[in-house]
């Protein structure tokens, strides 16, 4: 987590993401790229305001405003010694975020969300959901910043898919960074039920296959995966949830989109996602 991209619209949720990213950068001795994306307006031309003239002035004004806000943000929250780059880019938000991440070889995107409403939009086509879907990088969604030292228990819901080498590599990195315990969670539903006698053996083999350390094995039976994940996370008072996603279906590689929406809408803790490509 040496190079962290933080898309920023200067909302409270974006500031929370920036504050959390600062802590990550401090611990990793990394750097932050603060990015503000301005989408050009699409207006029909009129005799009074030609669209090119309007757009040029609009973009210039928005750029000046963003640069001023960047300075205030850094002055209020940034720590000495942390390298922070600021960028103002014009274009489609999602594509621009992913392009800047690739061009700058970022290895983590930290984005803010407003909670229930923000995460509802997150999962029905908003910019954050699209970033999660198409980004080749891990994405960490933050509702409220918290101290890194508080993250000691990470819930990792899994389907025990053996073809998850990249995902598990990132999971181990995430766990090591926070020096946290990993809690593997297998949820049985009426449509996806495994025999109780097989569950523990399967999970132990999975953990051994991917060389997991400092972990617990947990299974739950429920009608809905989301309820089980939420209840388990609250039960052990976990500090983060780490989930694999699918590039074609957004947050649906391990779970249905509506289920994941339910989880993140009802949880305050950070949600880490990684998109598994086909």
Q: What is the pLDDT of residues 216-252, one digit of tens each?
A: 999 988 787 888 888 999 999 999 999 887 655 444 4
CATH homologous superfamily of 3-142 equals HUPs (3.40.50.620)
Query: Model's pTM, two decimal places?
Result: 0.84
DSSP count for the chain of H helices, then E strands = 9, 10
Cα within 13 Å of Cα(171), Cβ side: 29
Contact 39, 93 (CB under 8 A): yes
Contact 7, 111 (CB under 8 A): yes
Summarize the confidence of residues 17-23 as an average pLDDT.
Answer: 94
Task: Assess whether pLDDT exceeds 90 at residue 108.
Answer: yes
Is it true that 3-142 and 150-276 share their CATH fold? yes
Summarize the confidence of residues 187-195 as an average pLDDT.
Answer: 69
User: Could you give phi then psi for residue 106, rounded to 5 degrees?
Assistant: -70, 155
Return d(Cα 98, Cα 102) in angstroms, integer: 6
pLDDT, the chain, mean:
81
Return the pLDDT at 51: 56
Given strand 83-90, what is the order of strands in its sheet? 83-90, 31-38, 3-7, 108-112, 139-142, 271-276, 240-246, 153-157, 181-188, 215-221
- Which H/E stretch holds residue 205? helix 196-209
Return the pLDDT at 50: 52
Tokens of 232: 């388990």
Summarize the confidence of residues 92-111 as an average pLDDT.
Answer: 91
Q: How far apart are the first and last CA of the chain?
A: 24
Return the pLDDT at 124: 37
Return d(Cα 55, Cα 53) in angstroms, integer: 6
Return the pLDDT at 132: 66
Question: What fold is seen in the domain 150-276?
Answer: Rossmann fold (3.40.50)
Return the pLDDT at 268: 82
Return the pLDDT at 127: 64
Where are the extended beta strands (E) located within 62-107? 83-90
Tell me which of 7-11, 77-81, 144-148 is least confident.
Answer: 77-81
Summarize the confidence of residues 80-109 as an average pLDDT.
Answer: 90
Tell me which of 148-152, 167-171, 193-197 is least confident.
Answer: 193-197
Return the pLDDT at 250: 46
Task: Assess whether pLDDT exceeds 60 at residue 88.
Answer: yes
Domain ranges (residues) in the chain: 3-142, 150-276
Q: What is the pLDDT of residues 51-61, one digit of tens each?
A: 555 567 777 78
- 111-140 per-residue burial string, b: 16 or more CB within 10 A, e: under 16: bbbbeeebbbebbeebbbbbbbbebebbbb
Return the pLDDT at 25: 94
Return d(Cα 100, Cα 120) in angstroms, integer: 25
What distances in angstroms separate CA 240 from CA 202, 236, 253, 271, 272, one per listed residue?
24, 11, 19, 6, 7
Question: Which residues, in sequence order, are bridge partners of residue 187?
Answer: 220
Nearby residues of 69 by Cβ (< 8 Å), 6 or more positions away: 10, 36
Contact 138, 131 (CB under 8 A): no
Return the pLDDT at 265: 64
């Amino acid at each position: 987590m040496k190079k962290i991209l933080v898309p920023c619209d200067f909302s409270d949720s974006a500031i929370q993401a920036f504050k959390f990213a600062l802590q990550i950068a401090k611990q990793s001795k990394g750097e932050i790229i603060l990015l503000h994306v301005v989408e050009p307006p699409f207006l029909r031309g009129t005799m009074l305001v030609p669209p090119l003239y309007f757009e040029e002035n609009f973009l210039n004004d928005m750029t000046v405003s963003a640069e001023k806000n960047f300075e205030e943000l850094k002055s209020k929250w940034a720590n000495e010694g942390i390298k922070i780059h600021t960028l103002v880019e014009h274009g489609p938000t999602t594509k621009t975020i992913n392009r800047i991440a690739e061009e700058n070889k970022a290895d983590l995107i930290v984005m803010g969300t407003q909670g229930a409403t923000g995460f509802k939009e997150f999962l029905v086509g908003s910019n954050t959901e699209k970033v999660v879907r198409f980004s080749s990088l891990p994405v960490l969604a933050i509702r409220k910043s918290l101290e890194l030292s508080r993250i000691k228990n990470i819930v990792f819901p899994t389907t025990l898919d053996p073809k998850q080498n990249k995902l598990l590599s990132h999971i181990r990195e995430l766990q090591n960074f926070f020096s946290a315990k990993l809690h593997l969670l297998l949820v049985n539903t009426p449509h996806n039920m495994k025999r109780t006698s097989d569950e523990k053996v399967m999970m132990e083999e999975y953990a051994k296959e991917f060389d997991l350390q400092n972990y617990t094995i947990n299974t739950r039976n429920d009608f809905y995966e989301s309820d089980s994940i939420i209840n388990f996370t609250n039960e052990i008072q976990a500090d983060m949830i780490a989930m694999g996603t699918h590039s074609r279906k957004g947050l649906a590689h391990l779970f249905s989109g509506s289920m994941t929406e339910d989880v993140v809408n009802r949880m305050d803790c950070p949600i880490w996602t990684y998109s598994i490509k086909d």
